[in-house]
Amino acid sequence: MSTNDVFSALNIGSGMNTTELIQNLLTAERAPQEKKINDKIEKNEVSVSAIAELKKSISESSKTIDAMEGTNVFEGSSTSTSVKLSVTDPATVKEMSSTVNVSQLATSQTLVFDGFASATTLVGDGDLLFQRGTWNNGTFTADTNYPERIVNISASAYSLTDIQDKINNASLGVTAKVVMKDKSDYALVLRSNTGLANSFKISATEGSNSGLNSIQHKSHTANTSSISSAQGATITASSAHGFKVGDTLKYIAGGTALNGLTSLSEYKIASVPSTTTFTLNDSNGNSITYGGSGGSSTDAFVRTNTETASAQNASFTIDGVTISRTTNEITDVVDGATLSLLNTTSSAAVVSVSTSKDKVLAALESLVEEVNNLASQLATLTERGLNGGERGALASESTVRAISDRLKKITTEPIFGYGENPVYLANLGVSTTKTGGLKINERTFDLAFKDDPQALTALFSDRLHSSSSLVSPFLTGSNYKPGYYFLDIGTQATLTGSSPSTNITSSNYSPSSGNQSLTMTLNGVTSGTIDVTGGPFSTTSALASALQTAINADNKLAVKGESVSVSYVNNSYKITSNKYGSKSEITINSIDSGLNNYLGLQGGTHVAGTGGDVGASLSGSSLEQTATGFRTLSGDAFGLSMGVVAPGSDAYISIGNSYVSTIRNYLDSLLSSSGALTTRTNSLNQELSEYNIELEELDISIEKSRERYKKQYGAMESIVNSFKSTGEFLDNYMEAQNKD
């Protein structure tokens, strides 16, 4: 019992129940403030709960809509499992039907060098020379457009695995793999790209640690400098020929075949007496030693047991037209589609591209249903409750109302990047209702599908397309605007020499002091002295490669990022700058006469490219040239890079976001950590924390008021009690006086 209650019980003080009075005062003070705070808490909790349900619905809708992305308006098909047709570019594909017969698949040249005890077995150091071209009956013809490449195997790392890694890191168009055939037999397997012209000739020049000759695939030519009998000839090789017992060799006779041997027949090596001789077994088991004398200077041998598969082109007919390709993935015979050759055919396969109207309509109906369900939920949540209607849980949430408005707007906005003109959903058969939902007009849809099925790809498939096969677009980030952009490419400076005065095949070029140097100015940067080194060079492709390497290795040019490509075309060497446009320039300042005899490049020659300073322009964006083409630095197409294969014709770049991806991306953005719904939920939860703090502060304030009231009423009771005591004293005094 409180002090005041005791006073009241003892009839001390005023006699009022001040405890109850104080409590009533505090209740009156607390109630309106507490109600106001609790109303806010309840409102926020309802909003948080409703937004959580909305986020769940949006997440489910996003997944459903995402599954519709890529719905094909055009589909490829085949009547045979040996041939497959896949639509790869909806921007260019058209309806078609053709018959295909496959007589041969493209294969890779596969070379197997085995007999090694482990993956770390030391093989030998030196240089491996790779030449790309074709083999025909043991004769190799190099591809002059492919420069010879040398892979150096150092004296500090020349194990089987080291050689594998060096080959793979050299970007030769051949892959190497160490394979364990059994516990004591490891092989180095080399596989080229598919196609007849992607075969390799591999020659070894051994270093201080012998053995690298075991990793080569080439013809070994005989030397007849000391012919004295019909028993053999010395093998031309700077060191060991690399053959071993058990190898199978194809003998290619340059003239009359050596006694006991038949040209183009295969023989096994029975023994290896020396590094320059070997003994073959003929068909009767007789031994014939090759090396010493006899034979022809153009005799040759090819080790055939190392080649487990030869390279060949795919051969097929399409509508009766015979076609050959280096790969089984054919991208250039059916517009917008890839023809995959999986096996040879015994009868014609019919491949076709057709439209799938029913499939697209079904997907569109599902999409409209999903968007309508989401729109209906948003409408219910934001219902204002006018005219007796039920008020939505998020009626006062402007964030959610803005989401509803944005979804409606997306439906009516133009879709850019699918051609020169924008696409509207209304033209594809999708329109809005009075209540803001979507509906499908099948008549309009049917007409659109009949007249322009390409336009319907804007519903489900994003687009990134170049009108030129010489320009490959690549897009990063999301700070771009969909659109149709014109790319204007200038030209590269290309210096073409005259026909060389000295034939390199009959008179090999060996660089030497005074006959190996040139200087040039490339794209405004003057080089130092450029020395062509190495050799001797016996082919134009080898010299072109050496010249390109020498120019690009010049320090003054390299530090500025300037480089060239060098080729030999139509009996002339051609130097092409890596830059495009008016700043692309090549000037030969000086050249040694001995070198010029092989190159046909005259000192003082100057050429320049055409186009602007940057080398290209793209509507709406600024560009920068890169090592492979161009990229945007700012503007509407920011994030776009364009690889340029050759300067060819101008190109249009299409960047399009489909309706499905636009809706999905917007829904996903709402759910992200920085999205509108997450941000609003965080804000509401923060407000809830603040409201709870306000309740705690109200409790403290009420307790302070309680103490204040107790002091005030305690003081009052003391005064009243004092008055009572004085009254009683006076009463007693007067009573005493009256008695007297």
Are both 453 and 386 inside the same structural domain?
yes
Which string of DSSP letters, residue by residue, matches 380-399? HHT---GGGPPPPTTTT-HH
pLDDT digits (tens, 9 = 90+) for 341-399: 999 999 999 999 999 888 999 999 999 999 999 988 988 888 887 776 788 888 888 99
Tokens 């037999």: give the residue.
185
> Residue 159 and residue 36: Cα distance in Å, rounded?
82
Any idea what DSSP says for residue 100? Answer: E
Q: Is the pLDDT at 109 greater than 90, yes or no?
A: yes
Instruction: Return the residue matching tokens 């022809």.
Output: 296
Please tell me whether residues 647 and 628 are part of one structural domain: yes
Tokens at residue 726, please? 């004085």
Report the range of poorest mean pLDDT among 5-9, 146-150, 305-309, 313-317. Answer: 5-9
Percent above pLDDT 70 for the chain: 92
pLDDT per residue as tens digits for the range 291-335:
655 556 677 888 888 888 889 999 999 999 999 999 999 999 999
Q: Is the same domain home to 400 and 480?
A: no
Contact between 290 and 231 under an 8 Å Cβ cutoff? The reply is: no
Enclosing H/E stretch for 377: helix 357-381
pLDDT (tens digit per residue) in 57-104: 999 999 999 998 888 899 999 999 999 999 998 888 889 999 999 999
Q: Are residues 178 and 193 in the same domain?
A: yes
Cα 394 from Cα 485, distance rounded (Å): 43
pLDDT at 235 over 80: no
Query: Is residue 362 included in any domain, yes or no?
Result: yes
Cβ contact 544:567 at 8 Å: yes
In a domain, 663, yes or no: no
Integer CA distances (angstroms), 361 to 355, 358, 430, in order: 11, 5, 11
723: pLDDT strictly greater than 50: yes
Q: Tell me which H or E stretch contains 463.
A: strand 463-466
Can you tell me the distance from the alpha carbon of 640 to that of 474, in angstroms, rounded to the nearest whole number?
Answer: 6
Question: Which residue from 537, 331, 447, 397 is spatially nearest to 53, judged by alpha carbons?
Answer: 397
Give the pLDDT score at 292.
58
| One-letter amino acid for residue 49 of the chain | S
Residues 244 and 158: their CA atoms lie apart, in Å, by 20
8 A C-beta contact, residue 233 and residue 295: yes
Lowest mean pLDDT among 217-226, 271-280, 306-315, 419-428: 217-226
Instruction: Give start and end residues of each alpha helix (H) in 291-355.
Output: none
The CATH number of the domain where 284 resides is what?
A: 2.40.30
Final residue of a structural domain among 629, 656, 683: 656
Residue 500 per-residue DSSP state: P
Q: Is residue 312 part of a domain?
A: no
Burial class (CB in 10 A: 0-12, 13-18, 19+), 146: buried
Specify whether 456 is located in the same domain as 362: yes
Q: Which residue has the higher pLDDT, 1 or 357?
A: 357
Q: Which residue matches tokens 């594809």? A: 428
Distance CA(689)–CA(666), nearest Å, equals: 30
Distance CA 58, CA 45 (A): 20
Does residue 197 contact residue 255 with C-beta atoms inside 8 Å? Answer: no
**Residue of higher predicted confidence among 231 and 582:** 582
Question: For position 223, what pLDDT does the model report?
Answer: 56
Which pLDDT band holds residue 214 (cuts at 50, 70, 90)? confident
**131, 199, 279, 281, 709 from 250: Cα distances, Å:** 20, 17, 14, 12, 117
Beta carbons within 8 Å of 97's beta carbon, 6+ residues apart: 350, 351, 352, 353
User: Is 254 among the domain residues?
Assistant: yes
In this structure, which amino acid lies at residue 221?
Answer: T
What is the tens place of the pLDDT at every residue in 707-718?
A: 887 887 777 767
Confidence of residue 702 (pLDDT cuts 50, 70, 90): confident
pLDDT at residue number 297:
64
In angstroms, the CA 230 to CA 240 distance is 23
In-domain check, residue 391: yes
Q: What is the span of the domain harbouring residue 563?
A: 492-611
Which of 102, 106, 104, 107 is closest to 82 using CA atoms?
102
Cα–Cα distance measured from residue 715 to residue 537, given in angstroms and rounded to the nearest whole number:
118
**Are 50 and 88 members of one domain?**
no
Residue 7 has a pLDDT of 46
Angle at 593 between CA 592 and CA 595, to 5 degrees: 70
pLDDT confidence band for 6 (50 / 70 / 90): very low
Same-domain status, 606 and 503 = yes
Scanning 69-159, the segments in alpha helix (DSSP H) are: none
233-237, 272-276, 732-736: lowest mean pLDDT where? 233-237
Name the average pLDDT for the chain: 86
Residue 14 reports pLDDT greater than 60:
no
Of 216, 235, 263, the position where a domain reaches its end is 216
CA 455-457-462 angle, to 5 degrees, is 125
Geometric angle at alpha carbon 76, from 74 and 82, rounded to 5°: 175
- Separation of alpha carbons 671 and 643, rounded Å: 35
H or E segment at 481?
A: none
Residue 523: how many other CB atoms lie within 10 Å: 22
482 and 512 co-located in one domain = no
CA pair distance 98, 81, nearest whole angstrom: 15
CA gap 47, 55 in Å, rounded? 12
Structure tokens at 95: 């309806």
Last residue of a domain, one of 156, 182, 216: 216
Residue 107 phi, psi dihedral angles, 5° rounding? -130, 165
Q: Please give the C-alpha separations between residue 366 and each of 67, 371, 373, 453, 664, in angstroms, as whole numbers.
A: 11, 9, 11, 19, 14
In the structure encoding, which two tokens stand for residue 728, read together? Answer: 């009683």
Specify the pLDDT at position 3.
47
Tokens 């080399």 belong to 190
Model confidence at 640, in pLDDT bands (50, 70, 90)?
A: very high
Q: At what angle do helices 659-671 and 357-381 cross, to 10 degrees?
A: 30
| Closest among 565, 473, 567 to 522, alpha carbons compared | 565
- The label of the residue with tokens 């397309």 reads 465
**Strands annotated E in 482-626:** 483-489, 492-496, 517-522, 525-526, 530-531, 564-569, 572-580, 585-591, 606-608, 616-618, 621-625
Chain length of the chain:
740
8 A C-beta contact, residue 215 and residue 128: yes
Q: Is residue 119 part of a domain?
A: yes
Q: Please state, as a whole number, how many other Cβ atoms lie within 10 Å of the Cβ of residue 1.
A: 8
Sign of the dihedral through C-alpha 452, 456, 457, 463? positive
**723 CB contacts (<8 Å, ≥6 apart)?**
none
pLDDT for residue 40: 87
CB neighbourhood size of 104 (10 A): 13
Q: Is it the case that residue 520 has pLDDT exceeding 90?
A: yes
Partnered with residue 136 across adjacent β-strands are 139
How many domains are there within the chain? Answer: 7
Higher pLDDT among residues 237 and 405, named by residue: 405
Query: What is the spatial distance between Cα 84 and Cα 414, in angstroms, rounded to a whole number?
Result: 36
The string of DSSP codes covering 67-82 is HHTT--SEEEEES-TT
**Block residue for tokens 């080194």:** 533
* Residue 409 sits in the same domain as residue 447: yes
The 3-state DSSP class for residue 341 equals strand
- With the C-alpha atoms ordered 716, 717, 719, 720, is the resulting torsion angle positive or negative? positive
What pLDDT is stored for residue 514 in this prediction?
86
pLDDT in tens, 651-675: 999 999 999 999 999 999 999 989 9
In the chain, % of residues over pLDDT 90: 45
- pTM recorded for the entire structure: 0.73
- Reduce the DSSP state of residue 222 to 3 states and report it: strand
pLDDT band at 162 (very low <50, low <70, confident <90, very high): very high
- Higher-confidence position of 701 and 299: 701
Token pair listed for 351: 């491949």
H/E segment holding residue 637: none
One domain, residues 699 and 689: yes
**Domain identity same for 479 and 626:** yes
**662 found inside a domain:** no
| Peptide linkage before 536 cis (omega within 30 of 0) | yes
Q: Which of 366, 382, 379, 385 is nearest to 408 (CA)?
A: 379
| Contacts of residue 671, Cβ cutoff 8 Å, sequence gap at least 6 | 55, 58, 59, 62, 677, 678
Residues 276 and 343 in one domain: no
On whether residue 669 sits in a domain, the answer given is no
